[in-house]
A = this chain, B = another copy of it.
Amino acid sequence: MNVVTHIHELKELIKQHQEKQHSIGFVPTMGFLHEGHLTLAKEARSQNDIVVMSIFVNPLQFGPNEDFESYPRDMERDQRLAEAAGVDILFTPDVKEMYQNEPSITMTVQKRTDVLCGKKRPGHFDGVVTVLTKLFHLVSPTNVYFGLKDAQQVAVIDAMIKDFFFDLHLVSVPTVREEDGLAKSSRNVYLSEKERQEAPALYRALKKGRSAVENGERDVSRVYQLIEEELVQTCGEIDYIEIYSYPELEPLQQLAGQVIMAVAVKFSRARLIDNVIFHVPESGEKHV
């Protein structure tokens, strides 16, 4: 595995692979790798000639009161895990390398942001699309891999690729979970023992909501209620329970089409998110 910190080194390696017409799978991360990331890397490994992973804690996507400084980092362990997952090139630039000058041009996400986590993180997705535009240009990936745990991020990246005609394929990979259903996350390390025991309630609640819809429930407020009943059993504070079309993230007139149900719960030192995305048949669609 090549570990490179400088853009010119990365570009040199990418150029060599492009000359060989290699397909390039790209997994952008903020590091502190867990099984979720490694699943992305393995998926990339199985679908491309080479796999590039980036580890870059992007300051532009953190708000002033967010955890940029304290975001967990462990580069030595990450390198070991990335190599074991089949990564060929690990790109680990510092902030100065990625933001060489004060930016002349800013990107602003106008849609799909004022819901879910985006609502409380103004500017977050602007930072995400800015750094991804840079990384996509540096890596020239054939396929890019993102986990559906951050379903809103996937929706925004989907819009970005379509808006700007990025010549790459977005592969969205299902959320990887602990045995008890808790979605894997770098921030799970911040949970107390009791919170860790309660945290699987997020996924339980979502499954309950989804089951209800699958069994014919079409009253959105009833579905909210079912999800809420499950979440209030934890000591965490419910941040949101939301149901939208996906990937448009628009309010639903009726429960139909591709739908996301998403929840966020604040525990003492960590805010956890989870979601399920599934297809609800249009009325009549089941008869086809």
Contacts and interface: CB of A to CB of B under 8 A. Distances in A.
A140 B136 CA distance: 13
Interface stretch (A51-59, A73-81, A98-106, A263-271): A98-106
A163 B103 contact: yes
A120 interface: no
A137 B165 contact: yes
Contacts of A105: 107-111, 129, 156, 159-160, 163-164
A211 B137 CA distance: 42
Interface string A107-118: 111111000000
A107 B104 contact: no
A166 interface: yes
Contacts of A100: 162
A6 to B, nearest CB: 12
A134 B156 CA distance: 17
Contacts of A103: 110, 163
A138 interface: yes
A101 B137 contact: no
A138 B167 contact: yes
A137 B167 CA distance: 6
Nearest to A158: B104
13 contacts: A101-B163, A102-B111, A103-B163, A104-B111, A104-B112, A104-B159, A104-B162, A105-B109, A106-B107, A106-B110, A133-B164, A134-B163, A137-B164
